[in-house]
Amino acid sequence: MISLIAVSVIAVHATWCMMYYRVSDGVIGKLLYAATALAALGYLSYPTHQAQGLLNTTFALVAVRHFWMKTYWPRLRAGILGLLHLRK
């Protein structure tokens, strides 16, 4: 019962993140949220180990993207913008 409630919250949150205009995660972020919402709905409709594995995988991909965007992307973006500024 607790697992179904938790997966329901994940599905609602992923759907909200995918559809709300103020969540500006770009195309890749929106696709990951859509995949997470679909995986959560798949688990709710037919809870198997494969559905749970897919849900865990999509959730892990969202976490890896978040880590990348907070840790490495600002420095990479600054470097790219610095290179573009020097070429003008």
Other Cβ atoms less than 10 A from the Cβ of 35: the count is 19
Given a contact cutoff of 8 angstroms between Cβ atoms, the answer to whether 53 and 69 are in contact is: no
Rounded to two decimals, the pTM is: 0.81
4-25 tens-digit pLDDT: 899 999 999 999 999 998 988 8
16-57 tens-digit pLDDT: 999 998 988 889 999 999 999 999 999 999 999 999 999 999
> Binning pLDDT at 50, 70 and 90, where does residue 88 land?
low
pLDDT, position 38: 95
Cα 56 off chain centre by: 11
Domain residue extents for the chain: 2-86
Given a contact cutoff of 8 angstroms between Cβ atoms, the answer to whether 60 and 27 are in contact is: no
